[in-house]
Structures are given as structure tokens and as C-alpha cells.
Amino acid sequence: MMHGAPVDFSFKNINCLADTWSEEPNSGLRPLKRNAEMKYYSCSLRFNNNNITDLFDLPNTVSHFLAEPLRLAWLDLSFNKISHIEQVLSELHELRVLYLHGNNIFILSEVDRLGALPYLHTITLHGNAIESNKSYRNRVISVLPHLKRMDFSAVTRQERVQAKIWHHDSKSSKNTLSEC
């Protein structure tokens, strides 16, 4: 029952997540099913292609719409105006797929917060300013150990090895710098 259709608020010109509370989700190919409290039997939310700038209301929004909010597994926040990977994302412990491509994220180290997500296996971050950092892919792969796909391409065994070496080297150079 929890594998119902995604609850889809894409292309609704939404500025903040709380704006969705009075909206009806888009209808898709599969009908959305609700419980007695009118919450959806789904583990997927789509907020892509809007004007969302922050994730302040994310926990309340997830609880507002989903029958079992702690089971949120797939979240699409692509093509918004999000500039930070906020701590609230690291609290979505069942999250497996996270789309953040096409936003305004510019601090690569904020990806580290997502390392707390034990099941995260797919992420998209391309189309953000962090993509221009030369250690972008190594950093993301090194902090997300269960990653299988990044930016719609498979994470290879060789990339995992490279990321591990990069991580070790970057730690070593930080330690060397702190000793100076």
C-alpha cells in the first residue's frame, strides 16, 4: 500500500513548502489513495520545477501529506531555488532517492550532512554551482558510501576507490595544514 503513486506538486509556482498545504497534487497515471485522515499512501513526494528557496517546512509538509511520513523514500526538489542542503534532509532516515539538480547550491561541504542517510543510493546535484568544484564527484561519493547512482550515472567501483583515495589525501593535507 505504501508504494502508491508519488504525491506530485511539480510545476505549481510554489514559493515555500507550506504553500502546498492548500493545494491539490497533480493527478498522475496512477490514482492517489488516501487513509481516513485524508493522508496519502505514498513514499514519494515531488516538488520539482517550482520556486522553493528553503526547506524550513519540510518535516511538517511531509507529515501533512503522507500517511507514514517516516517512510519517505523518494524526494524530488529539482529545479527550484534552493541554495543550501539543510539539516532537515538528514533527518529523512528512509530516504533512498534525492533529486536536487538545477538549484543554487554553492557550498560543497553541505553534502556531508547527507552522510547521515543510511539508505541513500541515488542523488542528483548537477546544475548547481558545486558542480564546478574539481573535487565535486569525489567528495559526494566519499561522503555517501551507499551511493549507486549520481547525476543519473552509475557510481563505478573505480570511482569509489578514487573517492576513498581523495578523501584520505584531503584529510592528510588538512592535518598537515593544521600542524603548521
Q: What is the predicted pLDDT for the residue at 19?
A: 93
CA-to-CA distance for 23 and 155, rounded, in angstroms? 37
Percent helix / strand / coil, the chain, rounded to 5: 35, 10, 50
Q: What is the predicted pLDDT for the residue at 180?
A: 44
Q: How many CA atoms lie within 13 A of 40 on its CB side?
A: 25
What is the set of domains in the chain, with CATH numbers?
7-179 (3.80.10.10)
pLDDT digits (tens, 9 = 90+) for 34-60: 999 999 999 999 999 999 999 999 999
CA-to-CA distance for 146 and 97, rounded, in angstroms? 11
170 or 93, higher pLDDT: 93
CA-to-CA distance for 168 and 106, rounded, in angstroms? 23
Look up residue 36 and give its three cell numbers.
Answer: 481516513
Position 170 confidence tier, pLDDT thresholds 50, 70, 90: confident
Position 145 confidence tier, pLDDT thresholds 50, 70, 90: confident
- In whole numbers, what is the pLDDT of the chain averaged over residues? 92
pLDDT digits (tens, 9 = 90+) for 76-120: 999 999 999 999 999 999 999 999 999 999 999 999 999 999 999
Share of the chain above pLDDT 90, in %: 85
pLDDT score of 2 more than 70: no
Write out the E strands in the chain.
7-8, 44-46, 74-76, 97-99, 122-124, 149-150, 153-154
DSSP secondary structure string for all residues of 115-156: GG-TT--EEE-TTSGGGGSTTHHHHHHHH-TT--EETTEEPP
Q: How many CA atoms lie within 13 A of 9 on its CB side?
A: 25
CA-to-CA distance for 94 and 98, rounded, in angstroms? 11
